[in-house]
């Protein structure tokens, strides 16, 4: 269910986060297809229900299809999910912070604007990052909403500009 191929057209396309559509008692998995392989992430709907709901909604809408990883910091994170492709874009809203899980290697978490302009630490509506190593200094500051369960080697190989071909959600 691919969206408009012009990724920047997705910037600010929504005005509010989606209504709750997931069942927090189910297990959700996201499979991110890239040219370098598949990254499979277990999403933690119990720990971060609003964030998982938002990610599942955007993935099912095709929002992430064709977007790039615009930021890669070796030994730290890969970041993607920005329709602008430069770290400034999003779907048009933020998501309330659900800070609690820790940043282990392979944690997936939402990016956000800094405390000076975002004292409530609201998460970006669509930009996420995956850690390349444990990053405990980020704990308590960002919403971690899942963990890579397969394909951390793919995460480690991602470079700036690599494309998220699609994100497929499964639930059990």
| pLDDT tens figures, 23-78 | 999 999 999 999 999 999 999 999 999 999 999 999 999 999 999 999 999 999 99
Mean pLDDT of the chain: 95
Which residue in 119, 139, 132, 143 sits closest to 55, CA to CA?
A: 143
The domains of the chain, with CATH numbers, are: 24-171 (2.40.100.10)
pLDDT, residue 5, reads 65
pLDDT, residue 153, reads 98
Q: How far apart are CA 64 and CA 58, in angstroms?
A: 7
How is residue 83 annotated by DSSP?
A: T
Q: Answer yes or no: are the C-beta atoms of 102 and 89 closer than 8 Å.
A: no
Asked if the model's pLDDT at residue 124 lies above 60, the reply is: yes
pLDDT, residue 2, reads 47
Q: What is the CA radius of gyration of the chain?
A: 14
pTM for the whole thing? 0.95
Q: Report residue 162 CA to chain centroid gap.
A: 15
pLDDT, residue 41, reads 98
pLDDT, residue 6, reads 82
For 85-111, what is the mean pLDDT? 97
pLDDT tens per residue, range 102-114: 999 999 999 999 9
Percent of the chain with pLDDT over 70: 97
Query: Distance between the two ends of the chain, CA-based, in angstroms?
Result: 21
pLDDT, residue 122, reads 95
Q: Which two tokens stand for residue 39?
A: 């990254």
pLDDT, residue 4, reads 52
Asked if the model's pLDDT at residue 136 lies above 50, the reply is: yes
Torsion sign (Cα): 76, 82, 88, 90: negative
pLDDT, residue 62, reads 96
Three-class SS of residue 156? helix
């Amino acid at each position: 269910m691919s969206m408009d191929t012009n990724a920047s057209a997705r910037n600010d396309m929504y005005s509010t986060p989606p209504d709750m559509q997931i069942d927090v008692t189910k297990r959700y998995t996201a499979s991110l297809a890239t040219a370098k392989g598949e990254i499979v992430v277990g999403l933690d709907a119990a720990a971060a229900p609003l964030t998982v709901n938002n990610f599942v909604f955007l993935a099912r809408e095709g929002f992430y299809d064709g977007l790039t990883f615009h930021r890669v910091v070796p030994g730290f994170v890969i970041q993607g999910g920005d329709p602008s492709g430069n770290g400034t874009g999003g779907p048009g809203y933020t998501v309330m912070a659900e800070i609690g899980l820790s940043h282990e290697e392979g944690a997936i978490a939402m990016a956000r604007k800094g405390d000076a302009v975002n004292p409530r630490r609201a998460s970006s509506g669509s930009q996420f990052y995956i850690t390349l190593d444990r990053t405990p200094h980020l704990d308590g500051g960002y919403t971690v909403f899942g963990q890579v369960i397969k394909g951390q080697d793919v995460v480690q190989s991602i470079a700036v500009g690599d494309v998220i071909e699609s994100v497929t959600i499964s639930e059990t």
